[in-house]
Homo-oligomer: A and B are copies of this chain.
């Protein structure tokens, strides 16, 4: 876990709290901090080289993102997801991304959006032989972009609040299973559906993508 301090020494632009947040998020979704692991404030603050106060602000945020769960007397531990929870997370994710797809379908001028989406898929394609982590990263970027392009800030925000849980699901289900869902074709299919402007088709395509993704993970 020594790697935890490293990310903080770099980019000084963000506040310490945000740096700690990123470092912890990464540590959790990468499995460095295993599910169920108990977190001790004084330990973490020492590891991250920040004060307890600042750390606690970050912890509250992670708690709300669903990466940490609170036990008795406020004791935090890394959340553990069971299969039902993974399915539930993907159900919510599907609902959000369906809305995104539907919204994009109704966009009169969606050529630019289509292009942006294809670009993120190009990145995915280029990362075919890269590490699992990089492939997952490019996949997340596609879906995040899908939400961002709608221009609905609330939608993007809700999706991002779920992002940590999604990443945990993938990690919990196994990265190998996770990347199975990241076929380039499936994603092009989604973009095509949006391109047609058929909201119903787009919704169905997204839902199918998510259902199979969740099914793969818990299989």
Contact = CB atoms under 8 A, between A and B. Distances in A.
Interface of A: 15, 53, 56-57, 60-61, 64, 66, 74, 85, 88-89, 91-92, 94-96, 98-99, 103, 152-155, 157-158, 161-162, 165
A148 to B, nearest CB: 13
A46 to B, nearest CB: 18
Contacts of A95: 95-96, 98-99
Q: Count the copies.
A: 2
Nearest to A58: B60
Nearest to A152: B88
Contacts of A15: 74
Contact of A61 (B60, B96, B103, B152): B60
B66 A91 contact: no
A218 to B, nearest CB: 15
Nearest to A103: B91
A56 to B, nearest CB: 6
For the complex of A and B, the 4 pairs showing the least CB-CB separation, nearest first, are A95-B99, A88-B152, A88-B154, A95-B95
A161 B96 CA distance: 14
A201 to B, nearest CB: 15
Contacts of A94: 99
Contact of A85 (B98, B153, B165): B153
A21 to B, nearest CB: 10
A165 B153 CA distance: 12
Contacts of A103: 91
Given A53-B53, A95-B95, A95-B99, A155 B60 contact: no
A177 B162 CA distance: 32
A85 B161 contact: no
Contact of A64 (B64, B91, B98, B155): B64
Contacts of A96: 92, 95
Contacts of A162: 154, 158
11 contacts: A57-B57, A60-B61, A66-B154, A66-B157, A88-B154, A91-B99, A92-B99, A92-B152, A94-B99, A95-B96, A95-B98
